[in-house]
Structure 1
């Protein structure tokens, strides 16, 4: 019977760990977790915690740690396969079909585990004996203490083609080749894979050695050599030091991701036991999923050189489609040319801890990288920046997170080019009288209001009156956009009750039928009594834009509708904040309140500019009113 990692991951995901453990252990709610007196040792004060979100239990008293399967084997005493069968039956999952070769494969895996464990022991003996003198000097120069070396099981592979082969000859050459310990070239005799290298055991989450990383001693290439993929070792799903970092992360609430083995080892020696590393490749989706089971926002601490920062950016791009509420990344930029190992040795743990506190959110890293990707001197280059940001955000699968990223990138883009956009507004941005804040004791005076034909229309009808009907008409014509903007539309507070009820019905219909087309939506609305108001919206010519025209370019219509919704949602929020700031100024003047008021007035003006730009960018559009024609 073959149990794939995917099957076991699905089994764990379908098993509510607190429900399983709660059958035999009395649990008490403790925030987002459950706690109890540990069932693995006698205690009076609860130190045993169960985390359903991350799918593990941990005891701070005896260090018992595991998932649902581990609970069944350690606490219930079931064999592994029996534990899986019982959990699968409870979760309603079919066990994989019997495979005649599965038993042979499982038996072979036992031999591979034993061979890797014996290889690790032999490498350790070599490091601590006469052959390992040079390797010990290398460790001493890097500041690695003997106890740290023992904790990580470091070893040494002598520069010999047959040393390990002879030491483990009882396993036979075929098994040692399968374990990645020997190299077989055609029909020639196998020989040791690792020679003249500092050996670093790679362990699975249960602490079993499954592979090795070897660092060259002296000159030679490659600098690092990893085991090949074997039945025990899947490079893309393995994180170095995960077995030790998982319990450390439980205490610190964070997980650090660094580039290499020695970074992990140096950080652990400096007190940062929650560090892991990918194995010479970019972070994979499987590795990201493992990290998110440890912490909601893993911190990437890649090297400060160009290669390290490119690796961090690749991880950011790879993480985007997988983002969800409570799942992101953060980034620490190390000084140029330094890695975490260098930093903790040269500047100490306190300096590294201070650096961690400056971690940059994922959205900031994406924004800064796209901003620096190319010059922004021409309209085409600025449009390119906008398009790249949009594409990054739209790669996010979760609709809520995607909507927030689109809105955030749009806000930052608009703020960056606020002055240029203000050219479309028939007045200058508001600044304090005389170029400075009002002096205490001066009578308060409201900031100047908008002027001009379009702005008069805005004053008379407000953003709601100008944009609501066109946006609703656009959504009627392009109903697939409703789900894309679900978060933004949910923030709308329409002043017209009939339009508000119509929008609610449209959202309900889109949720129930995500692939809805315009004709189907209108049919559903008609059945609910909204046919007249919907048809009136489609006939109205309140504001002619691409998204209200049936024959418009779909990409253009989508982009314009994005902008219109953003303005419609944001402007009332800015207006409310400005009203509050104005009331504060009238009641009790302060420079801070005055500066906030000025800021909000300028933000209000920027939104007016965006609306004017939206209208002007449509060739057949009218201005805000016919007065300006």
Structure 2
């Protein structure tokens, strides 16, 4: 397999060897490296080392050495091409198709990067020259000293139309490539190209491989139409896939003394610099847009729990909500987000000046988990003083849960939201539950099984009644909305997981009729179970009134069948508990207690008229 030269390097930049190898080898951090027992030879003393910064592993027991590609080749028997395909998928990249012009394209990209690097040096020199006095004054006012200028490669773009253009053309740069790199703007009317960045403090932007691929510019003239201006989309700059200061932040997170489980996501360039001035070099910033899925994956490659540090105003909370929701389909065990909200009107630079670096560190240490942000966003949408609004609140939470792909995490979020709903409103405050209970009180439907019933699963295979109750919900999803809470507490024998999936789908807002519900269940992996239930469909329809029955008749039929089914399963559960208690007493020789228990049971059955 032939791939562009830069493609392999990009995969290496995106995948940490310790993360890949740590899935099969128990690794422990030791300074800047990870150490574990050799996977190639039995040993008692660890001699296997992994270094993320250098991108390799080394086994002193066998002298085997390599990178993420050779690891898969060595341990899984893959070819180099197969290893590329596996790792590209993990890195969120698409393997380029065979392209005879690929080498030419890669060569052109390298050329663009060279001009970007040269432009970066030009801007940096201009910051320290007479031209840069206005930029130096701005940076000094913000507390940014010359050491930081050098550390971040800050620069200044002179407020002239061709300052950069004249310099780069004199260095031999083709005009066409400078336009393609986004350094110059070519007017639509065919006029002479001119500098894109003028009169701005310049922030160089690097890709994960530390190549300079773009710039951000902060205007110094208050009349400028855009306060911040970024490079446009080019063959080397894709702002939705990059983060400002990412290579340096990723290295800082890996330091043993970091104390963080991921990078800090700030709102802008100056915020990142403020964190660095406070001794926290783990900060990054998106490039003026909402965080994308590619950027989230990039964040998680640096650590499992990135911390978003945002303003506490409406814009900050909105940005947090968008990032939180976008992360849901990508969550995995041990991989999440955390959030910090600064007081209104403050940014990290303000907090640093007013309270010092310790205050900034304390704020980051108190970050909130992802679930808190999701809950609060939905809670604050509207007053929840009446049942209809609380129903909408619950529905929105269900819809968020439905976005989570990992089944274990989805179950945990569902359980957490249910606990918070009960704490916030109490069991009776749920509007759907109120509706169901009012129906139940009128028709005599038990509110739910006992705790003993929920613990006991007396049958491993589903009964005909359980199958028909489930099938009726699939055939007429409106029944699931009517009896939402009763369904949640019913035991459907071997169909409990399908019952939960029906509840999730009906609560997500994506289900309008039978076909859409079946499609949602198939997406959740229940196609085989639905196929097996198909034989019960005809008798079920007959039992629930056939085609001509109206909603009230079907609901009444479902209620009666659910009541009867629940009473039988409760009775079985009680009998099972009695038998278990009697067996325990017999084993312990408690004859007097056995006599009293039997006598009590005899009296109870006599009163109920069920004594045989």
So what's the TM-score if we normalise by structure 2? 0.65
Gaps of 5+ in 2: 38-45, 59-65, 73-78, 435-443, 478-488, 501-520, 545-551, 575-607
Quick check: 1:388 aligned with 2:391? no
Quick check: 1:88 aligned with 2:84? yes
Aligned to 1:437: none
User: Cα 1:392–1:67, aligned 2, differ >3 Å: closer, same or farther?
Assistant: farther
Check the 8 A contact 1:479/1:518 in 2, yes or no.
no
Alpha-carbon distance in structure 1 between the residues aligned to 2:405 and 2:157: 46
Check the 8 A contact 1:479/1:516 in 2, yes or no.
no
Query: Pick from 173, 176, 180: which aligns with 2:175?
Result: 173
Aligned to 1:240: 244
Aligned to 1:339: 347
Quick check: 1:164 aligned with 2:164? yes
Quick check: 1:514 aligned with 2:517? no
Aligned to 1:100: 100
User: Cα 1:203–1:391, aligned 2, differ >3 Å: closer, same or farther?
Assistant: same
Q: CA deviation at 1:420?
A: 4.4
Per-residue Cα deviation, 1:345-368 (whole angstroms, up to 9, x for no partner):
221111011111221111111111
Query: Pick from 284, 287, 297: which aligns with 2:295?
Result: 287
Q: CA deviation at 1:476?
A: 6.4
User: Cα 1:356–1:472, aligned 2, differ >3 Å: closer, same or farther?
Assistant: farther
User: Cα 1:16–1:291, aligned 2, differ >3 Å: closer, same or farther?
Assistant: closer
Alpha-carbon distance in structure 1 between the residues aligned to 2:450 and 2:27: 54
Alpha-carbon distance in structure 2 between the residues aligned to 1:49 and 1:100: 37
User: Cα 1:55–1:421, aligned 2, differ >3 Å: closer, same or farther?
Assistant: farther
Q: CA deviation at 1:139?
A: 0.7
Aligned to 1:376: 384
Alpha-carbon distance in structure 1 between the residues aligned to 2:448 and 2:312: 54
Quick check: 1:183 aligned with 2:195? no
1:202 aligned counterpart, secondary structure: strand
Alpha-carbon distance in structure 1 between the residues aligned to 2:451 and 2:385: 38
Aligned to 2:356: 348
Per-residue Cα deviation, 1:282-320 (whole angstroms, up to 9, x for no partner):
000100011111121211001222212211111112112
1:435-474 superposed matches below 5 A: 462=453, 474=469
Alpha-carbon distance in structure 2 between the residues aligned to 1:121 and 1:342: 30
1:423-434 superposed matches below 5 A: none
Check the 8 A contact 2:13/2:208 in 1, yes or no.
no
Aligned to 1:544: none
Q: CA deviation at 1:403?
A: 2.1
Aligned to 2:317: 309
Quick check: 1:199 aligned with 2:202? yes
Aligned to 1:432: none
User: Cα 1:171–1:143, aligned 2, differ >3 Å: closer, same or farther?
Assistant: same
1:199 aligned counterpart, secondary structure: strand
Alpha-carbon distance in structure 1 between the residues aligned to 2:395 and 2:410: 15
Alpha-carbon distance in structure 1 between the residues aligned to 2:140 and 2:353: 12
So what's the TM-score if we normalise by structure 1? 0.63
User: Cα 1:189–1:200, aligned 2, differ >3 Å: closer, same or farther?
Assistant: same
1:280 aligned counterpart, secondary structure: coil
Alpha-carbon distance in structure 2 between the residues aligned to 1:70 and 1:347: 49
Alpha-carbon distance in structure 1 between the residues aligned to 2:447 and 2:497: 30
Check the 8 A contact 1:375/1:381 in 2, yes or no.
yes
Aligned to 2:216: 213
Q: CA deviation at 1:121?
A: 0.4
Per-residue Cα deviation, 1:251-309 (whole angstroms, up to 9, x for no partner):
22321101100101111121111111000000001000111111212110012222122
Alpha-carbon distance in structure 2 between the residues aligned to 1:456 and 1:110: 69
Alpha-carbon distance in structure 2 between the residues aligned to 1:86 and 1:493: 48
Quick check: 1:409 aligned with 2:450? no
Quick check: 1:145 aligned with 2:145? yes
Report how many residues are paired.
Answer: 480
Per-residue Cα deviation, 1:389-440 (whole angstroms, up to 9, x for no partner):
1111112222222222222212211222217449999xxxxxxxxxxxxxxx
Alpha-carbon distance in structure 2 between the residues aligned to 1:178 and 1:293: 30
| RMSD, matched Cα | 5.3
Q: CA deviation at 1:378?
A: 1.7
Alpha-carbon distance in structure 2 between the residues aligned to 1:112 and 1:20: 32
Alpha-carbon distance in structure 2 between the residues aligned to 1:192 and 1:294: 35
Quick check: 1:300 aligned with 2:312? no
Query: Pick from 257, 263, 267: which aligns with 1:255?
Result: 263
Alpha-carbon distance in structure 2 between the residues aligned to 1:376 and 1:457: 26
Alpha-carbon distance in structure 2 between the residues aligned to 1:422 and 1:218: 55
Alpha-carbon distance in structure 2 between the residues aligned to 1:398 and 1:57: 30
Per-residue Cα deviation, 1:560-579 (whole angstroms, up to 9, x for no partner):
9xxx9xxx9xxx9xxxxxxx
User: Cα 1:229–1:336, aligned 2, differ >3 Å: closer, same or farther?
Assistant: same
User: Cα 1:535–1:185, aligned 2, differ >3 Å: closer, same or farther?
Assistant: closer
Q: CA deviation at 1:88?
A: 3.3
User: Cα 1:538–1:11, aligned 2, differ >3 Å: closer, same or farther?
Assistant: farther
User: Cα 1:57–1:415, aligned 2, differ >3 Å: closer, same or farther?
Assistant: farther
Check the 8 A contact 1:394/1:406 in 2, yes or no.
no
Q: CA deviation at 1:374?
A: 0.5
Gaps of 5+ in 1: 38-44, 60-65, 73-82, 426-452, 482-491, 524-530, 542-548, 573-624
1:301 aligned counterpart, secondary structure: strand
User: Cα 1:214–1:130, aligned 2, differ >3 Å: closer, same or farther?
Assistant: same
Aligned to 1:487: none
1:30-109 superposed matches below 5 A: 30=28, 34-35=34-35, 49-50=50-51, 68=68, 87-88=83-84, 96-109=96-109
User: Cα 1:172–1:374, aligned 2, differ >3 Å: closer, same or farther?
Assistant: same
Alpha-carbon distance in structure 2 between the residues aligned to 1:455 and 1:422: 17
